């Protein structure tokens, strides 16, 4: 009983508190735990979209050093950042693949088995004029 009835008159409405089942006493915890789980399971923020280095994906026509373009010193050719060049020696070597300067950018040619090197973004062997070149795909 919550109140001492000895000092009250006979018309008092003081009664004992209701007994709640144990499950009822924890109902405030359930929404709090639910909120805790929701905030703990939040997806991490995505990585920022930065300009691409050699071999990374890009969108042709984007400005250099823009998020979908290439870093300075590279150009976007067929959705892949390639080094700018003036002569073949400006192109970094790729073991087993011919890599020459063409139209101001380093062009990667397929090997004899029509394979391409593994770059940060996938490239596939495709006909390009009279040669087979390693070219990227547009982003999905």
Burial class (CB in 10 A: 0-12, 13-18, 19+), 134: buried
> Would residue 18 count as lying in a domain?
no
Segment 94-115, tens digit of pLDDT: 999 999 999 899 999 999 999 9
> Would residue 27 count as lying in a domain?
no
Cα separation, 39 vs 26, in Å, equals: 21
> Would residue 61 count as lying in a domain?
no
How many structural domains compose the chain? 1
Segment 35-93, tens digit of pLDDT: 655 555 556 666 667 889 999 999 999 998 888 999 999 999 999 999 999 999 999 99
Burial 58-89 (b: 16+ CB within 10 A, else e): beeeeebeeebbbeeebbbbbbbbbbbbeeee
Q: Answer for the pair 139, 59: CB distance below 8 angstroms, yes or no.
A: yes
Owning domain of residue 120: 85-136
């Amino acid at each position: 009983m919550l109140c001492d009835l000895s000092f009250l008159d006979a018309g008092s409405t003081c009664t004992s508190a209701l007994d709640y089942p144990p499950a009822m006493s924890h109902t405030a915890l359930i929404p709090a735990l639910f909120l805790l789980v929701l905030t703990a399971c939040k997806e991490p923020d995505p990585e920022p979209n930065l300009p691409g280095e050699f071999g990374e994906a890009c969108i042709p026509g984007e400005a250099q050093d823009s998020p979908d373009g290439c870093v300075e010193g590279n150009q976007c050719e067929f959705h892949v950042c390639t080094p700018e060049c003036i002569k073949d020696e400006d192109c970094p070597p790729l073991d087993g693949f011919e890599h020459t300067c063409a139209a101001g950018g380093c062009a990667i040619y397929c090997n004899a088995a029509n394979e391409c090197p593994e770059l940060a973004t996938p490239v596939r062997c495709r006909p390009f004029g009279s040669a087979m070149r390693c070219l990227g795909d547009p982003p999905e």
